[in-house]
Structure 1
Amino acid sequence: MTSREDAVAEHQEEATPDAVMTRIGQVVMLHRGGDRDEARDRFLELWVEIGEDGDALHRCTLAHYLADTQQDPADELAWDLRALSAADELTDGRVAEHRHWRAVRALYPSLHLNLAADYANLDRLEAARSHLRLAYETVGTLGDDSYGDGIRAAMNRLNLRLNGEDAADG
């Protein structure tokens, strides 16, 4: 292959969407539209399709969103723990293939925030504070954009809650 052909092939690979991530995104929209049960069912179908040993980015993303569809706080915690475990298997190269992320470390503030909230909902306050500390330790990896602002605001709200303060007081 010539260098031009290499460049064209590389561009085509970059332009080819990740079908699983696209499907996850479609189910996220269903969930955000208010159909929690249907979203959970479709996420679970995808989980079976991907498998416990499937692509770590797919497992991390899917478990992260699947947690939000759970009614039982313990089930939500279990899915968020799966998301964190899958993130620990990721490489920056694999994450950079997805258009929203540039580095694995940028996933951790949200993952730890979700775990902190899960533990708080289960009245496991020390575990909640521990994960919130980890979220704060990694928050510098977030961009100065609406996503980063949202994560930081949620962290601050949870911090107030864990310290027994009303967000309106602060």
Structure 2
Amino acid sequence: MMKLAEITAAVELGRSGDRDAARTQLTALWDEVDDRATRCVVAHFLADVQDETEDELTWDLRALELVSDDQWLPSLHLSLADDYRRLNQMDRAAEHLEAARPHLAMLPEGEYGDVIRSGFDHVSEALAAGSVQRLETNPST
């Protein structure tokens, strides 16, 4: 069963700057839930509150392994592209950007779709520039 309220509360903690509390709550949810869809969501958001890019990559890869809904694919591939870019693995970053590209057209109009499309543009530009710097905001959330 999706624990949307708990996930949302933990994500909000992370967005407000309390990444440690968010990480603790999301890790507890990861340990508690057993359905693929919920674990995918939790892993994707756990990636966002990691301090090290390598740890972020690990969680994003876990989320991709668990994905059961194509609506998450553009966000997951975008996150992975950004992870690999920051780890200076530019070829792998480019592969994930290309994997995200066909899914962009399926994104809904509105805030979520706009954030992902904008993130795609920002990661594409950073990749083209050879930048390994963290972007101002997470490109997929």
Q: Name the CA shift for 1:19/1:138 in 2 (closer, same or farther; >3 Å).
A: closer
TM-score normalized by the length of structure 2: 0.88
Instruction: Look up the equivalent residue of 2:13 and give its one-letter code.
Output: L
Secondary structure of 2:50's counterpart equals coil
Tell me how large the CA RMSD over aligned residues is: 1.5
Runs of 4+ in 1 over 3 A off after TM superposition: none
Question: For the residues of structure 2 that align with 1:47 and 1:165, how far apart are their CA atoms?
Answer: 34
Structure 2 partner of 1:77: 57
The answer (yes or no) to whether the contact 2:11–2:45 under 8 Å persists in 1 is: yes
1:39 aligns with 2:22: yes
- Extract unaligned runs of 5+ from structure 1: 1-17, 91-103
Higher relative contact order (CA 8 A, sep 6+): 2
Counterpart among 106, 111, 126 of residue 76 in structure 2: 111
Q: Name the CA shift for 1:61/1:19 in 2 (closer, same or farther; >3 Å).
A: closer
- Extract unaligned runs of 5+ from structure 2: 132-141
TM-score normalized by the length of structure 1: 0.73
The answer (yes or no) to whether the contact 2:22–2:49 under 8 Å persists in 1 is: yes
Instruction: Look up the equivalent residue of 1:164 and give its one-letter code.
Output: A
Question: For the residues of structure 1 that align with 2:40 and 2:130, how far apart are their CA atoms?
Answer: 32
Number of aligned residues = 131
Percent of residue pairs identical: 40
